[in-house]
Amino acid sequence: MILVTVGSQLPFCRLVRAVDAWCAANGRSDVIGQIGAIGPDSYRPKHFKWDQFIAPGRFDELTTQADLIIAHAGMGSIIGALRNAKPIVIMARRASLGEHRNEHQLATASRFAGRQNVYVADDEHVLPATLERVAGSSASAAAISPYADRKLIASLRRYILNGAADLGDAPELVGKEERAPG
């Protein structure tokens, strides 16, 4: 079974339409989607089961049962898939296309690109080929821990207790000076 989720707030017609076309072209009948609050002009899938909102308990069941998750580049969707060791195909919403308030999902997709079990489709034209590749594979991975990494916790503890963090625990910060506001 494949689970599609675009979150529960905004519609994401570009992704939903592309998945619907993929389902039609491949005769997929095992796709279930949460497509968010839709308006009068929103796309309504014809080739997969969908609802605007799926209750949290049912959504968790579907996530557990899914062989693949297709989603917007929302952190909740990505973390949920990784926690359940499910491969996820993500496509970022674009503010420039009126799908979101800013372009943060592009940054999220970029940051997760190349991570095991996360596959990024840059747009709706690449999505079908990405789905073909991922849906046809039997790749699996271990679930991520629901707890923060020990190094992060230790660094935060040192910072809180001593007012200084060990930048060795955060290599992306090494060499950057801290600047006081103003």
pLDDT in tens, 6-62: 987 788 999 999 999 999 999 999 999 999 988 889 999 999 999 999 999 999 999
CATH 3.20.130.10 at 2-135, yes or no:
no
Residue 139, pLDDT score? 63
Euclidean distance between CA atoms 42 and 12, whole angstroms: 8
Q: What is the 3-state secondary structure (H, E, C) of 21-62?
A: HHHHHHCCCCEEEECCCCCCCCCCCCCCEEECCCCHHHHHHH
Number of other residues whose CB lies within 10 A of the CB of residue 165:
17
Residue 69, beta-bridge partner list: 3, 88
* Model confidence band, residue 167 (pLDDT cutoffs 50, 70, 90): low
The pTM (predicted TM-score) of the whole model is: 0.81
- Domain boundary assignment for the chain: 2-135, 147-182
Helix spans in 48-122 (H): 56-65, 75-83, 104-112
